[in-house]
Amino acid sequence: MSITEDTSIALAPLAPLTRDELTTAVALLKDGPAAAESFRFSSVSLKEPSKAALRSGDTTREAEAVLIDRATGLAYEAVVDLAASAVTSWTELPAGTQPPIMMDEFAECEAAIVASPLVAEALAKRGITDLSLVCAEPWSIGYWGEDQAGKRIMRALMYTRLEPNDNPYAHPMEDFTVLVDLNTQEVMGIEDDGFLHMPREKNNYHPDFVGPARTDIKPIEISFPEGRNFTVDGNHIEWLDWSFDIGFTPREGLVLHRVGFRDKGELRPILHRASLTEMVVPYGAPGRSQQLKNAFDAGEYNFGYMTNSLQLGCDCLGDIQYFDATLVNSVGKPYTIQNAICLHEEDDGLLWKHWEFRTNDAQTRRSRRLVISFVVTDANYEYAFYWYLHLDGTIQFEIKATGILSTAGIAPGETTRYGQMLNKDGLYAPIHEHIFAARLDWAVDGDSNSVYEVETVAEETDDPVTSPFYAKRTLLETEKAAARPADPLAHRWWYVESESRTNKVGEKTAYRLMPTNAVLMKKNPDNWVTKRAQFSTNTIWVSKFEEGERYPAGEYPNQSTGFGGLPEYIEADESIVNEDLVMWHSFGLNHVVRIEDWPVMPKQVTGFFIEPYGFFDENPTLNLPTESGACATSAPQHESAAPEHPHCH
């Protein structure tokens, strides 16, 4: 089912644009300011209603579009009022602004490279003549301090397969890259330092190569004999105590809106909007083509566009509700990614347990969680993104990084400290990081919130017997004071407090962020990647909510020159006490590659937890039933040789 295609349901204000709405928006633009053939659509999507409009219920359906005029190289933003059938805003962006790369540009770029005589000559020097097996993998050029003269450029890394289905990442051509002007689709030049060794050993994961699969694994079946626990009404989901809306944007892919928990019948808000908004991958190996690799996978390539069509029993197991996503291609034609989002419920092991050994009474409750997920393929890598809603009010975000390592070549027999050797034919995978940024627009019991930092500290004392320690809470008063790195040994974390609602013990209700996978940028502060990915230099940032402040590396990170996004959002250093707040959390993987990550990587997991912290008056899951009575037992737990305890019977 599509989020929006069920016409029996009135469109909710945050439901993504329907195919019809996308068609209308594109037609109005083509009939108006984007009439010239040279216009390309980087994206067309819902212009989300403002918070004020959502509050008042006075919302209209609007589209926002980002376009590029290939004839001039200029980019434009447009707003279309769908009810009024009018283009209501058309803005030329500053020269040099480069919107995210379009899927069609990847294909066009690869075709231009493979057709280039210059490239064919360089390939022949490496003994490669079958162009049908050659893989050009375009990456954004980034920014390295040199003026790019308004050009829209990608730099392609070069690989080849040695036969169909062979893994091209086993055969990188090191320090041979190709620059392409995306607007003219011309090869601008090649960068070839003459290193001709290409690793030729085949390293494959495809069944064509690995032989028969094992046959000794018995199946698992997941069934819900009495039906589902969730309901779906358009893009609105209710699951047990949870209530939220699903959204999908070209940039972020899956978005959760208006996440709330029904507490004794009252729907209490927690997050106004939550999404994964950016990711940067800096590489450690010093060679030029490795250093020039850097990817802002959301801002440069659009997670939404790279979203997979999921398969039942493969990507998700159980009773699945899928949602499709409808986007437009570069010429404005709508297309649908079937099964883009997966929603299902799963068992989650133990939630809580106590065996009261004195009375021999064991109480156990099982945890279950609602999973809302999607998977993207960013050229070599896959990222599977999961939001988990738990019965006890916990929200967990998890990323499984899988897919294929971005590889590099050196001379056979050499080794390097900048990566992991993968074979003895000169193939290695450079060290790198994946630093993600989540955007959490908080609404803990309302829009008026404050943020505290917590550390566990010991009191100074000379007494070797008494050594008290406690959780020290510090109010973060302004935006600049709230740009903070993690400190796991201090057990540093942050909570977001409501302004006025209190719990049973008189404390203000709150939710906390547990930064379980903090990773910071390892490149030097004056490196261009660091300048462009400032979000990756702190674990949390907090900004006072402003409409339009939505991406931590800025609205247009592709070929950006640095310090966009968060540094701008907090520049005024506004008060963040009892305000409408957005928290930005950087986390991820410092990927010291293992040989076991090759030739396809078993998932590496990262993420974070958002937990109630005095939001409830007690454990909110006391009313959970035992599973068929099986988890409350007074059966003997072990045989004791001691006499029965006199007081406990």
Q: Under the rule (CB under 5 A), what is the footprint of Cu ion? A: 591
If the CB atoms of residues 22 and 295 are measured against ligand ABN, the closer one turns out to be: 295
**380, interface contact from ligand ABN, Cu ion, none, CB < 5-8 Å by kind:** ligand ABN
* Residue 469 β-bridge partners: 458
Q: How far is CA 105 from the centre of its chain?
A: 22
Per CB under 6 A, does 295 bind ligand ABN? yes
Cβ 251 to ligand ABN, closest distance in Å? 14
Per CB under 6 A, does 380 bind ligand ABN? yes
Per CB under 6 A, does 110 bind ligand ABN? no
* Residue 586 β-bridge partners: 437
Per CB under 6 A, does 551 bind ligand ABN? no
Residue among 147, 145, 428, 399 nearest 283 (CA): 428
Beta strands in 117-240 (DSSP E): 134-140, 153-160, 172-181, 186-192, 230-233, 236-239
43 token code pair: 């994206």
**Which position's Cβ is nearest Cu ion?**
591
If the CB atoms of residues 301 and 385 are measured against ligand ABN, the closer one turns out to be: 301
Per CB under 6 A, does 381 bind ligand ABN? yes
If the CB atoms of residues 377 and 502 are measured against ligand ABN, the closer one turns out to be: 377
**139, interface contact from ligand ABN, Cu ion, none, CB < 5-8 Å by kind:** ligand ABN
The amino acid at 466? T
If the CB atoms of residues 205 and 224 are measured against ligand ABN, the closer one turns out to be: 205
Q: What's the Cα-to-Cα distance from 58 to each of 51, 55, 78, rounded to whole Å?
A: 10, 8, 21
The terminus-to-terminus CA distance of the chain in angstroms comes to 57
The amino acid at 255? V
Distance CA 496, CA 454 (A): 11
**569, interface contact from ligand ABN, Cu ion, none, CB < 5-8 Å by kind:** none
Instruction: With contacts defined by CB under 6 A, name the span among 357-365, 375-383, 600-608, 618-626 that binds ligand ABN.
Output: 375-383
If the CB atoms of residues 285 and 395 are measured against ligand ABN, the closer one turns out to be: 285
Cβ 453 to Cu ion, closest distance in Å? 30
If the CB atoms of residues 378 and 433 are measured against ligand ABN, the closer one turns out to be: 378
Cβ 432 to Cu ion, closest distance in Å? 6
Q: Interface residues for ligand ABN in 157-216 (CB under 6 A)? A: none
Distance CA 118, CA 324 (A): 42
If the CB atoms of residues 134 and 295 are measured against ligand ABN, the closer one turns out to be: 295
If the CB atoms of residues 378 and 447 are measured against ligand ABN, the closer one turns out to be: 378
Cβ 303 to ligand ABN, closest distance in Å? 10
Per CB under 6 A, does 278 bind ligand ABN? no
Q: In 248-323, which residue ranges form alpha helices assigned H by DSSP?
A: 288-291
Distance CA 543, CA 583 (A): 7
**591, interface contact from ligand ABN, Cu ion, none, CB < 5-8 Å by kind:** Cu ion
**375, interface contact from ligand ABN, Cu ion, none, CB < 5-8 Å by kind:** none
Number of residues this chain uses to bind ligand ABN (CB under 6 A): 8
Distance CA 409, CA 416 (A): 10
Cβ 564 to ligand ABN, closest distance in Å? 19
Per CB under 6 A, does 404 bind ligand ABN? no
Q: Interface residues for ligand ABN in 580-609 (CB under 6 A)? A: none
Per CB under 6 A, does 139 bind ligand ABN? yes
277's enclosing H/E stretch is strand 266-282
Residues 6+ apart with CB under 8 A from 435: 279, 280, 281, 282, 519, 520, 521, 533, 535, 536, 586, 587, 588
Under 8 Å between Cβ of 492 and 453: yes
Q: Which long-range contacts (CB under 8 A, 24 or more apart) does 336-339 make?
A: 336/2, 336/19, 337/307, 337/308, 337/309, 338/309, 339/309, 339/310, 339/311, 339/312
Neighbours of 147 (CB within 10 A): 9
Active site residues: 297, 381
With H, G, I as helix, E, B as strand and everything else as coil, classify residue 569. helix
Per CB under 6 A, does 433 bind ligand ABN? no
Q: What share of the chain is helix, strand, coil (3-state, %, to 5)?
A: 15, 40, 45
Instruction: With contacts defined by CB under 6 A, name the span among 85-93, 241-249, 294-302, 584-592 that binds ligand ABN.
Output: 294-302
Instruction: By CB under 6 A, name the one of 378, 445, 447, 453 that touches ligand ABN.
Output: 378
Per CB under 6 A, does 301 bind ligand ABN? yes
Instruction: By CB under 6 A, name the one of 48, 297, 441, 445 that touches ligand ABN.
Output: 297
Binding site for ligand ABN (CB under 6 A): 139, 295, 297, 301, 378-381
